[in-house]
Amino acid sequence: MNLKGLWTKKPCGLAGTISSILGTLSLGMLLYAASVLAQEKTDAIVITADEIKRMNVQKISDVLNQVPGIKAGDSFVSIRGSYKVKVLLDGRPINDPTSGHGLVKFDLVSPENVERIEIYRGKGALKYGDDASGGVILILTRKINIFNGNIKSYWGNLDTYSHRANCRANKGAFGMSVSAGYDYTGGYQVNGDRKKRQAGGKIEYRPDKDLNLTLSIDYLKDERGLSGRLEYPTPHSRKKGEMFSYALSMGVKGIVSEAFFNNARTRNTDPDRNIDNSITVRRFGEDLSTSLSLGKWGTVNCGAAFRWGSAKGSRFTSRNENSFSAFAVDAHSFNRIPVTVSLGLRGTVYSEFGNSINPEAKISYKKDKWTLSFSYSQTNNTPSFYQRYDKTSTKEPNPGLDMETTNSFNLSLFSGISPRLSCGASLFYNRISDRISYILGDNGIGRYENFGNVIYRGGDVLLNAKITDTLSLKTTYTYLEATDKDTGFWMVARPRHRMYADFYYRPMADLSIIANLKYESRQYTRSDNKAWVPGRIIENLRVEYSPAWTAGRFGRVEFFGEVKNIANKTYCYGDGWLAPPRTWIGGLNYRF
């Protein structure tokens, strides 16, 4: 049900804006449903630091790829075909505000710093707001309670190397952490090199359970060549990006405040096409949330949010926009049956788009080792400044671009059958109205458009099995149908079948070997379905050796290696860009 049309008149002045927000908040607080916190504990897929350690991976994207329905790369992530995924690092978004298709700054965090990752597939927008129709990913870094850290370096083919360091220390109620990194690769195509620099710091103050304060500052600089598609090469196109990210989180007696400020700048140059343009985007956000007891009606979790954005570029004048939101959700659990029913609302007032009210509902049944749930949510995805106003060597601007709206339905079943076997399955149906899509022209230049009504539907399957004490299997499978309802065409870069399998072999306590298989079926590379790339199976291998003799008073050394695309297959991604040949790295990680 789309309720956006019921509330399209914009308020007059600040009083009208506040009135609209309070009205939405009051309406939501009357609902009979579950708190967001309780809802997240049952709905989230949680990956802990210990689980990440056992995966032997070097990037956050490799962690996410082991979750059914998720496809992640070095700077992108999609859930069940949708790239509208909000990624938060300790409460602040790390989605690139200068990009147009959901790029994520995963380089701001390394797996060694992660305490846990929480993943909400097809939900989470009720609390975390717009641009989350695919879902929400929360990355939470380690709390600073002891002195520890690591220094990691690796080298590989294609002139690839990486050096990173992290350190955490605390004294009493205070804690501090710092991190730095440098990565470089020469790339596997002409003009495919990439260089990254990262630095960050965090200060915590936790004097007691009723007060906590955290300040985080991160910096990332990314310089790379853009090789272009095989049929439209860009051998001299370059891209340079910088992003400063600041976050201040505070909790005082049940009231949580999370504020962030991101300042990002991207410059694109291509002398062959007379392109030299830049875009700078600044975003500020403030979120307040708390819980209110309603007695027999349960506990309501509610909050309000403010967003401000500003952009300027060499090809367009300065633009500003803002929004106000409020949400509320409550729950009721029945005494005689293990069922929880929840409902919630989020209302948003926009300066540049029509106002909206988005509902979310869920019913869940949990007994013994089985959990069954059904959920529904409605989400807005707003077009970025980049999509509307910026111009590059492959994109024209479209200032008339409007919001897209997604209605998502999900039915999930999970069972922990035994300590050696667990499995899960889910069915999903997502309908996107006025979808924002990049439409490529015959000359290799396109633009973003509201491209009709799109339907994503399918299912996920997860199986974890411990075959022997030394061998285990983790496999996921996703079936996806992604079509434009108006034209009948299949969506670009959306495989019908995708499977991911990890075979873990641990012959001894200090050695682990993981063989990985990735399969994706045929994918269309054009929106008119006139071109496609065939399906493929890619084999990968990860090894980690942490011998006891390296352990000492000051830490322990781990040796690791990784080979991707072992068979050295030549293939293209679903968007038509050439994928890497066989690549390998080897290095060491010193933990202290």
Go through the domains of the chain in sequence order and give each one's CATH number. 4-591 (2.40.170.20)
What DSSP element (H or E) covers 64?
A: helix 60-64
- Residues 542-567 as b or e (16 or more Cβ within 10 Å = b): bbbbbeeebeeeeebbbbbbbbbbee
Query: What is the DSSP pairing of strand 446-450 with strand 395-396?
Result: parallel
Number of CB atoms found within 10 A of residue 223's CB? 16
Q: Residue 279, class by beta-carbon neighbours within 10 Å (0-12 exposed, 13-18 middle, 19+ buried)?
A: buried
Using the structure block, give the residue that is written with the tokens 């501090």.
176
pLDDT in tens, the chain (592 residues): 334 333 433 333 433 433 443 343 333 333 322 233 333 344 688 999 999 998 989 899 999 998 999 999 888 999 998 989 999 999 899 999 888 667 899 999 889 999 999 999 988 899 999 999 999 999 999 889 889 999 999 999 999 999 999 999 999 999 999 999 999 999 999 999 999 999 999 999 999 888 999 999 999 999 999 999 888 899 999 999 999 999 999 999 889 999 999 999 999 999 998 889 899 999 999 999 998 877 766 678 899 999 999 999 998 889 999 999 999 998 888 878 899 888 999 999 999 999 999 999 999 998 888 899 999 999 999 999 988 988 777 788 898 899 999 999 999 998 888 889 999 999 999 999 988 878 777 777 888 888 778 999 999 999 999 999 999 999 999 999 999 888 899 988 999 999 999 999 999 999 999 999 999 999 999 888 999 999 999 999 999 999 999 888 889 999 999 999 999 999 999 888 999 999 999 999 999 9
Query: Are residues 75 and 100 in contact, defined by beta-carbon separation less than 8 angstroms?
Result: no
Give the Cα separation of 497 and 517 in Å (integer).
14
Supply the DSSP string of 99-149, one letter for each residue. Answer: -SS--B-GGG--GGGEEEEEEEET--HHHH-SS-SSEEEEEEEPP--S-EE
| 416 beta partners | none
- The confidence score (pLDDT) of residue 43 equals 67
Question: Could you tell me the pTM of the whole model?
Answer: 0.87
Query: Are residues 133 and 102 in contact, defined by beta-carbon separation less than 8 angstroms?
Result: no
What DSSP element (H or E) covers 72?
A: strand 70-72
What DSSP element (H or E) covers 388?
A: helix 385-389
Give the Cα separation of 290 and 267 in Å (integer).
41
What are the residues whose beta carbons fall under 8 Å from the beta carbon of 269, sequence distance 6 or more?
237, 238, 239, 275, 276
Give the Cα separation of 528 and 440 in Å (integer).
10
The token pair at 198 is 């990262």
Query: Are residues 216 and 103 in contact, defined by beta-carbon separation less than 8 angstroms?
Result: no
Would you put residue 149 in left (φ > 0), alpha (ψ -120 to 50) or beta? left
Query: What is the DSSP pairing of strand 436-440 with strand 446-450?
Result: antiparallel
For 122-232, strand residue ranges (E) read 135-141, 148-156, 160-171, 174-185, 194-208, 211-228
User: Cα 300–306–312 angle (5° rounding)?
Assistant: 155
Q: Determine the distance from the C-alpha atom of residue 520 to the mean position of all C-alpha atoms in its chain, rounded to a whole number.
A: 21
285: amino acid identity, one letter: G
| 519 beta partners | 499, 537
Give the Cα separation of 11 and 355 in Å (integer).
9
Handedness of CA 569, 575, 576, 578 (dihedral sign): negative
Give the Cα separation of 267 and 277 in Å (integer).
6
In degrees to the nearest 10, what's the CA dihedral of 35, 37, 41, 45?
110
Give the Cα separation of 249 and 213 in Å (integer).
6
Return the DSSP state at 549: G
C-alpha dist (Å) from residue 466 to 370, 412, 436, 510, 534: 19, 23, 43, 19, 33
What DSSP element (H or E) covers 24?
A: helix 13-29
What are the residues whose beta carbons fall under 8 Å from the beta carbon of 5, sequence distance 6 or more?
354
Q: Determine the distance from the C-alpha atom of residue 41 to the mean position of all C-alpha atoms in its chain, rounded to a whole number.
A: 18
